[in-house]
Chains A and B, each alone.
Chain A
Amino acid sequence: MNWLSWISDFFSSPDRRSGPDSIANRIGEHLAISGEALFYAALLAVPLGLLIGYSGRGAGLVTALSGTARALPTLGLVTLAVLLVGVGDTAVLIPLVALAAPVLLVAACEGVRGTDPDLRDAARGIGLTHRQVLWQVCVPAALPALLAGLRTATVQVIATATVAAYVGLGGLGRYVIDGLATRDFPLTVGGALLVVLLAVAAQLLFAALSRFALPAGLRKQRR
């Protein structure tokens, strides 16, 4: 089949091995953009989500807001961001953060809200302060939900970071956009395949993480 040979063409090209257009370099750029976006999204959304989840105030708003935010068209946001801040990292980070933040916000909020009320009550009753209840009881209880949210956000951001190339930045999107522009289909298909592989790899990484990084008492709960 045609596209199989495109893929082999893509991987056998010397340009993929070294230089700015090499696979290693593009994956590095892609991960850097994705990582940066996730970092800012988490910085913004997680503490806010934890607080809202703990206090229970504004939780309805969070759900409504995140639903709306998910409906935002990323490409439109990129264009808007370019108009607002000009071409550059920020123009890509804005839509990616807008994509990841609501997911993390809801995960943090719902994770904390899902803490067994009897458990919170007992924790208060034996003398934990609100801050201690949040950190020692609710955050651990929210970890599985947080990790799941982070996984969703990561996969989405990695898939969507392709748009960086749209405004002239690097990443795997370069292959896709450049391929389309020059009708170099092996380049487009190979780039798309790499994005998919990267997203799947991220998915697997988180599956392993939620298996080994969570405390044993949370992995298997009977509550």
Chain B
Amino acid sequence: MIRFDGAGKRHPDGTIAVEGLDLTVPAGRTTVLVGPSGCGKTTILRMVNRMVEPTSGRVLLDGTDVTELEAAKLRRGIGYVIQQAGLFPHRKVIDNIATVPHLLGWDRKKARARAHEMLELVGLAPETAKRYPFQLSGGQQQRVGVARALAADPPLLLMDEPFSAVDPVVRAGLQEELLRLQSELNKTVLFVTHDIEEAVRLGDQIVVLREHGRIGQVADPATLLAAPADEQVAAFLGRDRGLRGLGLRPAGSIALTPLDEPFAGWRLELDEAGRATGWTGHGEHRPAAAFDPGADTLRTALDATVLSPVGAAVAVDGDGRAVGIAARAAVLDALDALHALPPRDEAGHGR
């Protein structure tokens, strides 16, 4: 656990980067610092591993003031990932990953074995080990950066805009990978980004920052999107907060109707494997839109009913086999339940 206790950083020229920050970063979860550039988020992150020394207040790591620890030793116990990966260009991937174990004095064999393990963990092929950083794509370099940070198995990971320099598709893959890793490893992660979408996707706790590292709001993603503390935070969150918030809710709560029950005169057609091939009715054939209640979110389910030319989406299992029909109204009922509204009929909304 990290605690910022009135921590501040004033530069020698008098400019203030961060002022009087009080914040707790809980252990074993991902905390994302998000805010516009110049809000001091990177400075806050770098106070933890003493790359920036606080000029006021304290930063406590598991109760110990970090300034009481020897800087190099402290840093070896903290994983650090930066935007451009920062890999050593003259060293092979495997030696890059083994850097911290070497610094910690592990023997060569053990460090190498560990590095190979890390390579696999971050989803890189074993033959990547012998390559040099310049031979890798940006996304691969970033994976190596994460592997290097994890090699000595530190309980804490600092990530400073690690995925900002790669294209959106690769970034989505890296975020997915980080979520997977985190579900296995349960590290304490402090993650800095200027991208609110990334924050919502990765964070268990999101810290929205304003200038000088002042806190706008600390909340879990769903709460943040549903109830921003003020207009400034709301403006930073951007448009369609409500819809985006649905992206954090599982679609499993939607009430399904049986497959063989016609929907408003449309009947769902299935192939031998049980996959939906479309709707027939009113002398027409129309395509079907589907979602997976076990894996998708309410946002995807709602999207499927919006896309569907008949007003109902097909619920499918992991193999794509239809398991039920979700009427648009059933999805809306699930939305109502989020706000604990009474059922529509009783409330007199009618259908």
Are the C-beta atoms of B72 and A141 separated by less than 8 Å? Answer: no
Asked if B134 is at the interface (CB within 8 A of a chain A CB), the reply is yes
Q: Which residues of B contact A217 (CB under 8 A)?
A: 88-92, 132-134
A126 and B88 form a contact (CB under 8 A): no
Chain A residue with minimal CB distance to B73?
A127
Cα separation A141 to B91 with both chains bound (whole Å): 11
A55 at the interface (CB under 8 A from B): no
Please name all residues of chain A whose beta carbon is closer than 8 Å to the beta carbon of B85 when the two chains form the complex. 122
- Please provide the chain B residues from 26 to 82 with a CB less than 8 Å away from any CB of chain A in the complex: 46, 49, 51, 72-77, 80, 82
CB distance from B338 to the nearest CB of A (A): 42
CA distance A63 to B292 in the complex (A): 67
Give the complex CA separation of A136 and B89 in angstroms: 11
- Given the known interface contacts A125-B49, A217-B133, the answer about A223 and B89 at a Cβ–Cβ threshold of 8 Å is yes
Q: Is A9 an interface residue (CB 8 A)?
A: no
Point out the residue from B72, B91, B134, B149 that lies within 8 Å of A221, measured CB to CB: B134
The answer to whether A15 has its CB under 8 Å from any CB of chain B is no
Which of B86, B90, B100, B132 sits near A127, CB closer than 8 Å? Answer: B100
From A119, A132, A136, contact of B86 by CB (8 A): A119
A223 to B90, CA, bound (A): 12
**Residue B277, interface by CB 8 Å:** no
Contacting residue for A122 out of B74, B82, B90, B91, CB 8 A: B82
Complex contacts, A137 vs chain B, CB 8 Å:
88
B76 touches A126 (CB 8 A): yes
Cβ-defined partner of A218 (8 Å) among B77, B84, B90: B90
> Which B residues are in CB contact (< 8 Å) with A36?
none
- The yes or no answer to B212 lying at the interface (CB within 8 A) is no
A20 within 8 A of B: no
Does the CB pair B80–A122 fall under 8 Å? yes
Cβ–Cβ < 8 Å partners of B75 in chain A: 124-127
Does B143 lie at the interface of the complex (its beta carbon under 8 Å from any beta carbon of A)?
A: no
Known contacts A122-B80, A126-B148; A141 and B100 CB within 8 A of each other: no
Pair B82/A125 contact, Cβ less than 8 Å: yes
Q: Looking at the complex, which one of B51, B134, B148 makes contact with A121 (CB distance below 8 Å)? A: B51
CB <8 Å contact, A125 and B89:
no
Judge whether B82 and A118 touch: CB under 8 Å.
yes
- Taking the closest CB of chain B, its distance from the CB of A140, in whole angstroms, is 4
Contact A216 B132 (CB under 8 A): yes
How far is it, in angstroms, between the C-alpha of A126 and the C-alpha of B133 when the chains are bound? Answer: 17
User: Which residue of B is nearest A120, CB measured?
Assistant: B86
Give Cα A222 to B84, complex, Å.
13
Closest Cβ of chain A to B339, distance in Å, is 45
A-contact bits for B98-142, CB 8 A (1 contact / 0 none) = 011001000000000000000000000000000011100000000
Q: If the complex has contacts A121-B82, A122-B82, A129-B72, are A215 and B49 also in contact, measured as CB distance less than 8 A?
A: no
Smallest CB–CB gap between A221 and chain B, Å? 6
Interface residue? A57 (CB, 8 A): no
Instruction: List 6 A-B residue pairs with CB atoms under 8 Å apart, sorted by A's residue number.
Output: A121-B82, A124-B51, A127-B75, A128-B103, A217-B133, A221-B134
| Contact surface of A with B, Cβ cutoff 8 Å | 118-119, 121-129, 132, 136-137, 140-141, 143, 215-218, 220-223
10 further A-B contacts with Cβ under 8 Å, apart from A125-B51, A127-B72, are A118-B83, A119-B86, A122-B84, A122-B87, A125-B75, A126-B75, A126-B149, A127-B77, A127-B103, A217-B134
